[in-house]
Amino acid sequence: MTTDRTRAGQAIDRGWYAWLIDPLSTVEFENDYYEQRLLHIRRKASAYYAGLLSVSDLDIVLGTHSAGHRDIKLVRDDGDVASREYLNGAGRVRPLEVARHFDNGSTVIFNQLHTRVPTLARLCAALGSRFSSRVQANVYLTPPDAQGFAPHWDVHDVFVLQISGAKRWSIYDTKVRLPLCGQRFEPGTPPGDLSDEFELSPGSTLYLPRGLMHSARSTGQASLHITLGLTAFTWAAFLVESVNAAALEEESLRRNLPREFAREGFPASERERLFSEKLDLLQSRFDPEVVWRRFTDEVLATDVPLFTDLLGQRLRPDRLAPGSRVRRRVGLLTEVATDGETCVLRFCGRELRLPAGAWPALQFATTADEFRVLDLPDCLDAEGKLTLVKRLVKEGVLQRAAQGG
């Protein structure tokens, strides 16, 4: 099978990532910091990240989105604020109660705000594309001289983008390097020795690899920052998934262990032989592409932009014509593959299958930044080109350009 993985707005996506950590190069970050050590980028440009989010955006989510406990959470340094104190009987957030708790020193956490704010959705999609990772944006609004969480570590990498105010960060010696999801921080675990302290000022950013213990406290002003969480796929998860997938096909992997394996006298050499036998079976008969495919599909389905124009695209007065200009949707991750008989476009957890002859046109449509309908390769006739573009616009893969033809 031939596969061409493309990401809409690829140049823009690379720009998001480079902009995030500027002036450090992306190569230097990936070689020297990613999964290895803390990075603190200090900037004097306090408004550097201001265009990503404002307090007005938070007010809209709090006051108009009928958010629930999973969407908005309150914490103090001594633990979570009981949800009954700011939810109504239907499980919805009461905005006035949230504001009252903020006045009394609670941090307000807006979870997964990339599902509500387009700029954050595009930023998360760009990072997800670069790191083949699931990415989400949580936002923290902390009152002056307050701490949201006691010292802890995360089981995912994070970028912290300081929007306004400042926080004093404390970094402690790492307890567990690169912890798995099952190695989450247990409340009450004492921190290691203090290794670093610094202030994160507006316009500055911080990268923390998973497992690095930390805490942060606001200074004399309220602090607003974005935390981008990168939940990557580990080799441990890949191997577990591989065994599970192989067991669905191979009966011997579903059988019980020997009845006598726990008895005294069961030979260690026999345990080693049986284990080697199953590993050889897994390696010789199982195609790991199944797991690669599953993880890839999850990235494609998770890191998506917000579709804020689907009805407007359909209701435009100017109809699509051969001379109409269209463009790829910025931030949309797509994959085009062919097996010689059909070609398939994968995006957002969906599949679009077409005859194999449409492969050049489909590949062009998902890699060109902007084009006219008639610019598609001539593997399709004029009517076929228009039909394909109409379908891709309806599916949200393409957008009409500002000036229609």
Residues 354-363 have pLDDT tens digits of 999 999 999 9
**Cis omega (within 30 of 0) for bond into 317:** no
Mean pLDDT along residues 165-174: 94
Mean pLDDT along residues 281-300: 91
Asked whether residue 219 carries a pLDDT value surpassing 80, the answer given is yes
Q: Could you give all domains of the chain from N- to C-terminal order, each with its CATH number?
A: 33-231 (2.60.120.650), 235-288 (no CATH), 310-400 (3.90.930.40)
Asked whether residue 11 carries a pLDDT value surpassing 50, the answer given is no
The vertex-7 CA angle with 235 and 1, nearest 5°, equals 65
Residues 6+ apart with CB under 8 A from 105: 76, 143, 146
What whole-number percentage of the chain has pLDDT above 90? 82
Asked whether residue 121 carries a pLDDT value surpassing 90, the answer given is yes
Asked whether residue 7 carries a pLDDT value surpassing 50, the answer given is no
Model confidence at 338, pLDDT cuts 50, 70, 90, reads confident
pLDDT recorded at residue 403: 60
With beta carbons less than 8 A apart as the criterion, state whether 189 and 109 touch: no
Residues 363-401 have pLDDT tens digits of 999 999 999 999 999 999 999 999 999 999 999 999 999
The vertex-330 CA angle with 52 and 224, nearest 5°, equals 15
- Higher pLDDT: 403 or 170? It is 170
pLDDT recorded at residue 322: 96
| Global pTM value | 0.87
pLDDT recorded at residue 10: 38
Model confidence at 213, pLDDT cuts 50, 70, 90, reads very high
- Higher pLDDT: 162 or 192? It is 162
Token pair belonging to 401: 């350009």
Asked whether residue 78 carries a pLDDT value surpassing 90, the answer given is no
In 10 A of CB 84, how many CB atoms?
A: 9
Model confidence at 116, pLDDT cuts 50, 70, 90, reads very high
Model confidence at 3, pLDDT cuts 50, 70, 90, reads very low
Residues 13-34 have pLDDT tens digits of 448 999 999 999 999 999 999 9
Residues 233-250 have pLDDT tens digits of 999 999 999 999 999 989
Asked whether residue 105 carries a pLDDT value surpassing 90, the answer given is yes
CA–CA gap between residue 179 and residue 211 (Å, rounded): 6
What mean pLDDT is reported for the chain? 91
In 10 A of CB 51, how many CB atoms?
A: 9
Residue 225: burial class (beta carbons within 10 Å; 0-12, 13-18, 19+) = buried
